[in-house]
């Protein structure tokens, strides 16, 4: 354990966060996401698991360390509901609250169609899979600077 580091942040996750630079993207997802399949395409090249923890708690822990990008219009992306892109799942508003609170300002969150999200995830730095049962708990955070 380290002082001041949330215990949700395991050694592999902190290592990946430290390797990331400005503009790199981190995927945070639920257990339904094909994370292991997509993770091999990322810069990091393997999946980071945060077992026993949900999306909200994991995002809160990460965003204490991870600044969101201020040079892009929407530093957070989420997956759209298949067949109903205007639909709102409860996790969308939950994560909106988490990111707004972490940055102490309103944060724009864009929605991506399912396969567009998968492509964006492949181009990310790393994928972090939580134990959240979902559905549609799939988010991409763009890293900013301190």
Half-sphere exposure (Cβ direction) of 2: Cα atoms closer than 13 Å: 8
| Catalytic residue of the set 24, 49, 69, 132 | 69
| Catalytic residue of the set 30, 44, 49, 118 | 118
69 belongs to the catalytic site: yes
Partnered with residue 50 across adjacent β-strands are none
Indicate the SS3 state at residue 1: coil
132 belongs to the catalytic site: no
Integer Cα distance of 1 and 47 in angstroms: 22
Q: Locate tokens 């292991």: which residue?
A: 36
118 belongs to the catalytic site: yes
Token digits of residue 22? 């400005």
The catalytic residue positions are: 22, 69, 118
């Amino acid at each position: 354990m380290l002082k001041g580091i949330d215990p949700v942040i395991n050694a592999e996750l902190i290592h990946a966060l430290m390797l990331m630079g400005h503009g790199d993207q981190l995927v945070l997802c639920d257990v339904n996401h094909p994370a292991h399949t997509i993770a091999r395409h990322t810069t990091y090249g393997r999946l980071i698991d945060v077992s026993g923890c949900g999306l909200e708690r994991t995002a809160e822990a990460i965003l204490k360390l991870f600044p969101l990008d201020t040079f892009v219009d929407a530093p957070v992306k989420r997956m759209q509901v298949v067949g109903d892109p205007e639909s709102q799942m409860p996790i969308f508003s939950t994560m909106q609250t988490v990111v707004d609170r972490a940055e102490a300002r309103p944060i724009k969150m864009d929605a991506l169609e399912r396969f567009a999200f998968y492509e964006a995830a492949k181009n990310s730095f790393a994928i972090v899979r939580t134990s959240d049962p979902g559905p549609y708990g799939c988010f991409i955070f763009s890293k900013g600077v301190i």
